[in-house]
C-alpha cells in the first residue's frame, strides 16, 4: 500500500520537515539555471499567513521549485534583553508555518510536490535592521546564498508592526534581481476563497457523482430517468463544480483514498459503538458523573476534506465534540476525562492521515508527545478559554501581552477571524 502513495504522501512531512539550509543550497547548485529557483516567504504572524502559505505551497509544487524558504526577519538582536523570548516566539511561528506548508504539499496533486523542501530560518538576528533597505539587503543576501529567485509577500506582512513597510519593501525589492509578488489572498473578512478553479476533472467527477446518485434513486433502465438524470447532473456540475470540490481527482490517489477509507469505516464504527456503550452508562447513571472541559489540539492534517474527516470522526466518537476548527487548531469539548485522554492519544488523527496520505505518513508522535494539546477549563487547565466573540477579543489581546509578542497584532486582536494565527502555543 505504501508503494502506491500519492506524490506528497511519501514526503514524511514531519521527520524531514525542517531541512538544513546548507543541504538545500547544495541541491539548488546542481539544478540548471533554467529551472525555477527557490521561493522565499518572509513570515510574520498575520491573519493572512495561512492562505499565503497555502498559495506558496501550491505554486511551488506546480512550478517545480526546489524549496520554500520560510524566513522570519528578526526585529531583535541576539544578546539584547528579551531576545531569547522573542527568538523562541519566532521559532514557534516558524514551526507552525512549517507544519502548514508540509500539510499543503502533502495535499497537492502536482507531481513536483514531493520534491519541494521546506526550509526555515531566522534572518538578521545579529544586526539591527532599519527600514526597508536593510530588510531587502538581508533578504537578497540570503536569496543569493540559497539560489532563490522569487519572493512572495504576505499582503499583511509588516515586520516589527510597522504598518507602512510593505510598499517600500516591494519597491526596494524591485531593485534586486529577485522577482516580487504579493500573494493573491483575501483579507480576513473572507475566510478563504470559497470558489476554486473549474477544471475538467472536477466537472467530470461531479457530473458522474450526481448522475450516479440520480440513477440510484430512479431507474437506470428507464430512458426517461436517464435523460432527466443527465440534464440535472449537467445543471449541478455546471453551477457547482467550482464550489464543491477543492482538488482534482487524480488517478492513483483518489481510488487509493477510497479503498483506505473503506478500511477506516469499520474501525470507526467499532470505536463508535464501543465508546457509545460507555457514554450510555455515564448518561444513564443516576449520579451523572460527567466532567466536561473544553480542549485545544493542534492536528497535522491538510485543510479541506482531511480536516473535515478528522473533525467529524472526533464528533462521532462519543465523549468528544469538535466545536471549532481554526486552521489546524481543533477546539474539542470532552464530556469525561477518559474521552479527552483518548483524543490526545491521537489515534483518529493517525487514521485520517492513513486514509489520505498512506501508511507511512500515519506514523507520527501523538499530539500529547508533540505538546500540541491544551486543556482550557477545569482544575487541570493549562490555557485560557478563548471565547472571543463575547468580549470583542479582549482575551486574545491579554494573552498576547502576557506572551510577549505584543508587537504583532494589536490590530487583529479584535477580529478573531478564521485565519487568526494568534492562538499561542503550549
What residues make contact with other proteins under the rule CB under 8 A? 191, 216-217, 272-273, 276, 279-280, 283-284, 288, 290-294, 311-312, 315-324, 331, 333, 335, 377-378, 385, 387, 389-391, 418
Kindly tell me which of 265 and 410 has the beta carbon lying closer to other proteins.
265
**Nearest approach, Cβ of residue 323 and other proteins (Å):** 5
Locate 339 and state its grid cell. Answer: 474521552
Give the number of other Cβ atoms within 10 Å of residue 362's Cβ: 19
In sequence order, what are the residues at sequence separation of 6 or more whose Cβ sits closer than 8 angstroms to the Cβ of residue 44?
A: 72, 93, 154, 156, 157, 158, 159, 408
3-class DSSP state for residue 320? strand
73 forms bridges with which residues in the sheet? 123
* Distance, first Cα to last Cα, the chain: 35
**Nearest approach, Cβ of residue 119 and other proteins (Å):** 34
Kindly tell me which of 7 and 386 has the beta carbon lying closer to other proteins.
386
**Nearest approach, Cβ of residue 44 and other proteins (Å):** 24
Residue of 398, 392, 313 whose CA lies nearest to 356: 313
How many residues would you count in the chain?
A: 426
Residue of 129, 138, 127 whose CA lies nearest to 71: 138
**Nearest approach, Cβ of residue 315 and other proteins (Å):** 4
Kindly tell me which of 29 and 389 has the beta carbon lying closer to other proteins.
389
DSSP assigned state of 385: -
Locate 56 and state its grid cell. Answer: 506558496
Kindly tell me which of 81 and 287 has the beta carbon lying closer to other proteins.
287
Kindly tell me which of 115 and 192 has the beta carbon lying closer to other proteins.
192
**Nearest approach, Cβ of residue 47 and other proteins (Å):** 14
153 forms bridges with which residues in the sheet? 182
Kindly tell me which of 103 and 311 has the beta carbon lying closer to other proteins.
311
Give the number of other Cβ atoms within 10 Å of residue 116's Cβ: 26
Say how far apart CA 274 and CA 70 lie, in whole Å.
44
Kindly tell me which of 34 and 217 has the beta carbon lying closer to other proteins.
217
Kindly tell me which of 140 and 301 has the beta carbon lying closer to other proteins.
301
Dihedral sign, Cα of residue 116, residue 122, residue 124, residue 129:
positive
Locate 367 and state its grid cell. Answer: 499530539
41 forms bridges with which residues in the sheet? 70
In sequence order, what are the residues at sequence separation of 6 or more whose Cβ sits closer than 8 angstroms to the Cβ of residue 93?
A: 43, 44, 45, 72, 421
Kindly tell me which of 7 and 342 has the beta carbon lying closer to other proteins.
342
What H or E segment, with its residue span, contains residue 227? helix 223-240
Place of cell 509588516: 158
What is the CA 241 to chain-centroid distance, rounded? Answer: 23
**Nearest approach, Cβ of residue 206 and other proteins (Å):** 17
Kindly tell me which of 162 and 315 has the beta carbon lying closer to other proteins.
315
Q: Where do the H-state alpha helices sit in 108-222? A: 131-146, 166-173, 200-217
Say how far apart CA 13 and CA 300 lie, in whole Å.
9
Locate 174 and state its grid cell. Answer: 524591485
Kindly tell me which of 121 and 334 has the beta carbon lying closer to other proteins.
334
**Nearest approach, Cβ of residue 241 and other proteins (Å):** 20
Q: Find out whether 45 and 95 touch, Cβ atoms under 8 Å.
A: no
**Nearest approach, Cβ of residue 393 and other proteins (Å):** 11
**Nearest approach, Cβ of residue 161 and other proteins (Å):** 26
**Nearest approach, Cβ of residue 381 and other proteins (Å):** 9
**Nearest approach, Cβ of residue 389 and other proteins (Å):** 5
Amino acid at each position: 500500500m505504501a508503494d502506491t502513495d500519492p506524490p506528497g504522501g511519501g514526503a514524511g512531512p514531519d521527520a524531514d520537515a525542517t531541512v538544513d539550509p546548507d543541504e538545500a543550497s547544495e541541491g539548488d547548485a546542481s539544478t540548471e539555471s533554467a529551472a525555477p529557483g527557490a521561493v522565499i516567504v518572509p513570515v510574520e504572524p498575520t491573519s493572512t499567513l495561512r492562505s499565503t502559505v497555502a498559495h506558496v505551497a501550491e505554486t511551488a509544487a506546480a512550478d517545480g521549485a526546489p524549496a520554500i524558504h520560510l524566513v522570519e526577519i528578526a526585529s531583535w538582536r541576539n544578546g539584547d534583553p528579551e531576545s531569547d523570548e522573542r527568538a523562541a516566539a519566532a521559532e514557534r511561528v516558524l514551526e507552525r508555518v512549517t507544519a502548514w506548508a508540509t500539510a499543503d504539499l502533502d495535499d497537492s496533486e502536482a507531481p513536483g510536490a514531493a520534491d519541494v523542501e521546506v526550509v526555515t530560518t531566522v534572518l538578521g538576528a545579529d544586526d539591527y535592521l532599519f527600514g526597508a533597505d536593510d530588510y531587502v539587503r538581508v533578504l537578497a543576501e540570503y536569496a543569493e546564498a540559497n539560489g532563490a529567485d522569487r519572493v512572495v509577500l504576505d499582503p499583511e506582512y509588516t515586520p516589527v508592526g510597522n504598518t507602512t513597510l510593505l510598499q517600500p519593501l516591494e519597491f526596494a525589492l524591485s531593485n534586486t534581481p529577485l522577482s516580487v509578488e504579493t500573494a493573491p489572498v483575501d483579507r480576513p473578512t473572507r475566510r478563504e476563497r470559497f470558489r476554486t478553479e473549474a477544471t475538467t476533472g472536477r466537472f467530470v467527477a461531479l457530473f458522474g457523482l450526481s448522475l450516479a446518485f440520480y440513477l440510484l434513486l430512479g431507474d437506470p433502465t428507464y430512458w426517461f430517468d436517464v435523460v432527466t438524470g443527465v440534464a440535472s447532473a449537467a445543471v449541478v456540475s455546471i453551477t457547482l463544480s467550482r464550489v464543491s470540490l477543492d482538488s482534482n481527482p487524480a488517478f492513483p490517489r483518489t481510488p487509493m483514498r477510497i479503498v483506505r477509507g473503506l478500511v477506516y469505516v469499520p474501525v470507526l464504527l467499532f470505536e463508535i459503538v464501543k465508546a457509545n456503550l460507555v457514554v450510555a452508562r455515564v448518561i444513564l447513571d443516576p449520579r451523572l458523573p460527567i466532567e466536561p472541559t473544553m480542549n485545544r489540539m493542534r492536528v497535522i492534517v491538510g485543510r479541506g476534506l482531511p480536516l473535515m474527516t478528522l473533525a467529524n470522526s472526533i464528533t462521532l466518537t462519543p465523549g468528544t465534540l469538535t466545536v471549532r476548527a481554526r486552521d489546524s487548531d481543533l477546539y474539542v469539548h470532552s464530556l469525561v476525562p477518559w474521552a479527552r485522554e483518548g483524543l490526545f492519544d491521537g489515534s483518529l488523527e493517525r487514521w485520517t492521515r492513513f486514509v489520505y496520505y498512506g501508511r507511512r505518513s500515519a506514523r507520527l508522535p501523538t499530539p500529547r508527545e508533540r505538546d500540541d494539546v491544551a486543556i482550557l477549563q477545569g482544575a487541570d487547565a493549562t490555557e485560557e478559554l478563548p471565547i472571543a466573540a463575547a468580549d470583542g477579543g479582549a482575551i486574545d489581546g491579554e494573552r498576547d501581552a502576557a506572551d510577549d509578542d505584543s508587537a504583532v497584532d494589536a490590530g487583529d486582536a479584535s477580529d478573531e477571524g478564521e485565519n487568526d494565527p494568534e492562538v499561542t502555543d503550549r
